[in-house]
Structure 1
C-alpha cells in the first residue's frame, strides 16, 4: 500500500520515555518548592541573626546612655563640689583678711598705749599652727609687731626652724625646707620684713603650708628675728598636739 511505512515497535523504550516525562513533570515543581523552602530558611536565619544583632546593639545603646547619665551626674557633682570649695576658700580668705586688719589695728593701739618703761621695738607675737586633713601637713602663720610711737618702718629679717628628733637624734629643720613644692614655698631660709606696726607672714593674714618629713617628731618652733642696730630677738613656740 502506497504511503504506509512499517516501523518496529519497542515497548521498553516507550516506557523509559514516559518515565522520563513523568519525572520531569514531577521534578520541576519539587525543585521549585525546594528552592523556595531553602530561600525561606536562609531568609529566616538571616532575620534571626539580624534581630539578635539589633537586640545587642539596643542593649549596648542603653548601657552607653546609662554611662553618659552617670558621667553627667558625677561631673555635675564635681562642679558643685568645686564651686563649694571655691566659695569656702573665698570666705576663709575674706575672714583672714578681716582678722589681719583687726590685728594690725590692735597692734597699733598696743604700741601707742604701751608704758614708756617697756623696751620699744620688735615683738614676735605668735607662731600659729593648725593641723590639716593631710598626714604631716600643717598650716602656719607668723605674727610680728612693734612697741612704741615711732612711725618709721622697721626692717629686718627672721629665721624659723622646727626642732625635734629623728632617728634618736636632735634635729633642727629650716622652715624653708619644709615648704618645698608647696603653694607658699619659701625660696630662702631667711625672710626679710619691713613694717610700721604689724606684719604677718605670709602677708594679709593668710596661712601657708608646711610638710614634715617621715620619721621626724617635732617638739617646738624657734623664731629668731634681727633688726639692724638692735639685739637679736628669739622666741620658741611649743608644737601643737595633733590629737
Structure 2
C-alpha cells in the first residue's frame, strides 16, 4: 500500500512540473516536440491508475478496512486523473494552434468563458486569442466588446467601458505571435438582463484579417 501511494505521489509531483513547463513556455516548436512525450506519460499514468483501482478494490473486500489508507489511495487516484486531463487539455490547445481540425489559418478566438463572481452583479470574463498556422510574424490590434440585453423591458447594449470597475482601463490591446489570454472583471448594471456578447478582434497587422464572433450569455461555475 505504501509503495502504491509513493508511486502516485512521485508521478503527481512530476506531472505538476511538466504541466508547469507547458504553461510557461510559449514556444510552439518545443510544444510539438514534447507532445509525443506527453502521450507516453499519459499511457504510463493510466497504467498507474489501473493499479490504484486494484488497490481500492482489494481494500474494499476486507472487513477491517483501513479507512485512512483508503482515502489516501482514492485521493491520489483523483489527483492523477485531474493531472492527466490537464495534460490532454494542453495537448489539444497546442494542436489547435499548430494544426486545427478545420484547416483554417490566421487570427481567431480560441476560448471565451464567463464565470460568476462573488457579488450578484459581478462576473469574471476570460478570452483566449490564437494565431493559427501563421507564426512568421506577430499580430497586433485591439479587442472591442459589447453586451446586448434588456433593461426595464427595452433593448439595451453596453460597451466594455460601461461594465468595468472604476479603476480598470477600457482599452483592450493585444500583441502576440502564438496566443494570448486575457482576464476582465465585469459589473452589470442593476436591472439589466444580459443576452449576447459580441467580440470583435481588430487586427492592425497587414495581411492578417480581423475576426468577429458572438456568444450567448452563459455563465459557468467559478
> If the length of structure 2 is used for normalisation, what is the TM-score?
0.53
Look up the match of 1:101.
23
Look up the match of 2:176.
195
Look up the match of 2:155.
170
**Which of the residues 167, 173, 186 maps onto 2:169?**
186
Mapping for residues 21-170 of structure 1, pairs under 5 Å: 101=23, 106=90, 107-114=93-100, 118-170=103-155
Maintained 8 Å contact 1:165/1:216: yes
Q: Matched residues in 1 for 2:193 and 2:178: separation?
A: 35
Q: CA deviation at 1:132?
A: 2.0
Q: CA deviation at 1:120?
A: 1.4
**Which of the residues 213, 217, 221 maps onto 1:239?**
217
Maintained 8 Å contact 2:106/2:209: no
Q: Matched residues in 2 for 1:141 and 1:133: separation?
A: 16
Q: Matched residues in 1 for 2:110 and 2:136: separation?
A: 19
Is 2:199 the counterpart of 1:223?
Answer: yes
Q: Aligned in 2, Cα 1:103/1:186: closer, same or farther, shift over 3 Å?
A: farther
Maintained 8 Å contact 2:106/2:134: no
Q: CA deviation at 1:136?
A: 0.6
Q: Aligned in 2, Cα 1:112/1:127: closer, same or farther, shift over 3 Å?
A: closer
Q: Aligned in 2, Cα 1:151/1:138: closer, same or farther, shift over 3 Å?
A: same
> If the length of structure 1 is used for normalisation, what is the TM-score?
0.49
Which is worse superposed, 213-222 or 227-236?
Answer: 227-236
Q: Matched residues in 1 for 2:152 and 2:108: separation?
A: 35
Q: Matched residues in 1 for 2:119 and 2:176: separation?
A: 33
Q: CA deviation at 1:98?
A: 5.1
Q: CA deviation at 1:126?
A: 2.0
Gaps of 5+ in 1: 1-96, 203-207
Gaps of 5+ in 2: 1-18, 32-89
Q: Matched residues in 2 for 1:201 and 1:175: separation?
A: 14
Look up the match of 1:92.
none
Number of equivalenced pairs? 138
Q: Aligned in 2, Cα 1:130/1:227: closer, same or farther, shift over 3 Å?
A: same
Q: Matched residues in 1 for 2:195 and 2:25: separation?
A: 27
Q: Aligned in 2, Cα 1:194/1:223: closer, same or farther, shift over 3 Å?
A: same
Cα RMSD for the two superposed structures: 3.1
Q: Matched residues in 1 for 2:185 and 2:203: separation?
A: 26
Q: Aligned in 2, Cα 1:236/1:101: closer, same or farther, shift over 3 Å?
A: same
Q: CA deviation at 1:198?
A: 0.8
Q: CA deviation at 1:103?
A: 9.9
